[in-house]
Amino acid sequence: MATDPKTGQPIFHRHGVGIHNVGSYQSSGWPYITGSTINNMEEKYHAFPMVAKAVTVIASGTFGTDPIALLRVHFASTSSDSAYVIDGHHYVSMENDDQSITFNSKCKGIYLSALGSDVGYEVVAELTNIPTDRMFALTGSGVTDIG
């Protein structure tokens, strides 16, 4: 056991919140709820104040007006270095009001994009106490790569 060089007392290791700390995910999360509308062919990023342990996206409000409207949910941007999101089909599409998807996955934000028409949405997240700067970037197979 390690001891403090000044006092000679044992040093007990403290565990705190973090990406690899099980307790950070076992406790109930802090609620986060928002919503808006995305214009056709645009993308929005919702950055969470803390790392989320689960995220639910609900399509709402505008799908009844356009039968070809899609709301896409993804973990990387459809532009810049992550152009393979669309080509690799690394997204989930929703095409009806009240359709929803829940991701039981840690993340510090989520991307939403509209195709075919303006679309409404709601985002409900369960947040941990983990600061977002401790979360790694989500990339690779199933997120940004084609393969």
b/e map of 128-146 (b: 16 or more CB within 10 Å)? bebeeebbeebeeeebbee
Indicate whether 143 belongs to any domain: no
pLDDT recorded at residue 10: 74
pLDDT given at position 80: 62
**Confidence tier at 122 by pLDDT (50, 70, 90):** very high
**pLDDT over 80 at 2, yes or no:** no
Whether 9 is in a domain gets the answer no
In-domain check, residue 127:
yes
Question: Is 146 a domain residue?
Answer: no
**Number of structural domains found in the chain:** 1
CATH number at residue 57: 2.60.120.10
- Contact (Cβ atoms closer than 8 angstroms) between residue 143 and residue 71: no
Summary mean pLDDT of the chain: 85
Asked if the structure places residue 142 within a domain, the reply is no
Supply the pTM of this predicted model: 0.81
In a domain, 147, yes or no: no
Can you tell me the mean pLDDT for 43-48? 96
Q: Sort 30 into a burial class: Cβ within 10 Å, 0-12 / 13-18 / 19+.
A: middle
In a domain, 64, yes or no: yes
Domain span at residue 83 reads 23-134
What are 59-77's pLDDT values in tens digits?
A: 987 765 666 789 999 999 8
